[in-house]
Structure 1
Amino acid sequence: MNLNDPKELASLLEAYLLASGKPLSLERIAELFEEAERPELAQIRAALAILATSCKGRAFELKEVASGYRLQVRERFAPWVGRLWEERPQRYSRAMLETLALIAYRQPITRGEIEDIRGVAVNSQIVKTLIEREWIRVVGYRDVPGRPAMFATTKGFLDHFNLKNLDDLPPLAALRELEPEPVLALDDVDVPVPEGLQARADLAGEEPAEPREETSFRSLLAELDTMEQGLKIDFDDLPVADADAEQPAGEEPAGVEAGDEALFDEAPDETRH
């Protein structure tokens, strides 16, 4: 093989990348050659450019990410290629994605600073998961009381999201355009009524009107009658204070004026109800 021929070198680099299964940097590619046959880094770059051109119109592409170069399936084929694996793709919670985004855009950042921005506490499991996936790492400690750890993203994060460096992150203005439109209040928009609910409403409107006031009044009377049956009308069992001991002779009981006892004696039994 003539390694001085850029096309042949490009074919060899294609074989390297297919066999590697992970990104290879220029330095790592150069290490794969014997010292006597090792091409210059400029030659390797030229061969990679030829390889990238040869991938046009193919189902795969040459992509440069943070860790180096790799051959990967084009994104538009992902929904079909993903069927090769029985397990479903990992889904991430909104809290985890928000935490990861804050670390990516505001790094280095502490957990407390993330909580201040989000307004809620950061679950320890979220930080643990991001560290285990090698998407974030501790890069130092803030020089404040408690010395909280500062987090930043890793090359693994950039590789996973197809980024060469942090400058490839989409601008925040673009992310704001992806936010869903605010939900309008019910008074601001005509919300269609579900067909089933509308049918029931129409059916109810066709039924003859009931004398609701009479029915409601009878129900109220019946309820009051039931409540009245439980009222206490016999107070003979209540303790009676010793009038001779507590009331001076010749004085009327407190709270009862002269002549009131006659009202109690003359009142018919029905008034006690």
Structure 2
Amino acid sequence: EPLDEGSLAVRLPEGVDVPKVLLSLQQSYQARGVNLVNVAGKWAFRTAPDLAHLLLREVQAPRRLSRAAVETLAIIAYHQPTTRADIEEIRGVSISRGTLDLLMETGWIRIAGRRRTPGRPVTYGITDAFLEHFGLEDVKDLPGVKELKAAGLLDSSPPLNFHGSPADNENEDSDAESDEDSGLEFSPDLREDDELDLPKEEANALDQTSDLDDEQT
């Protein structure tokens, strides 16, 4: 804890020239691993600047994406390049303000450009980091309809335009909402997304890919 000269004088023998002692100590420690420095009018020992990077410890705490974030990520992966409006149409609900920002910060999606339609909406696509994380060589390696059905992740009804652009027909509303974690983890210590849980086929597809990746590792 930094101490001012008055506090130091109380702890030293009477008559000691505190500023002179501090200056002497500062010069003595100048070439050492710790330096005596003045911080906001108080004195303290600090790690030498040229050695600070050696003592820096970075800790990455795995965090879980919400189901809503995973659904959004899956939609982008299967329908890219896609806009925010496309995602909302497929999910049947609006996206919370931080969902796309969160996915951008994970490094798994990127801005792919702008669509040549009125308003020039931004489109999103996946990144190489996404492929690397899930052990995919190409987006074409994502599980197809047959694979998902075989794994029991899809029902017998055909999925909604699974590999194409979002369908025009009306989507069914989810019959349950929850902010339960998806189980999909990422390392950056980012803010949490508070979107509601609305399971769709695309989310199941991405969950299966994540499980396969975990088994390989």
TM-score range, shorter chain: 0.3 to 0.5
Indicate the structure (1 or 2) with the bigger Cα radius of gyration: 1
Which structure shows the higher helix fraction?
1
Taking structure 1 as the reference length, the TM-score comes to 0.33
Which structure shows the higher strand fraction?
2
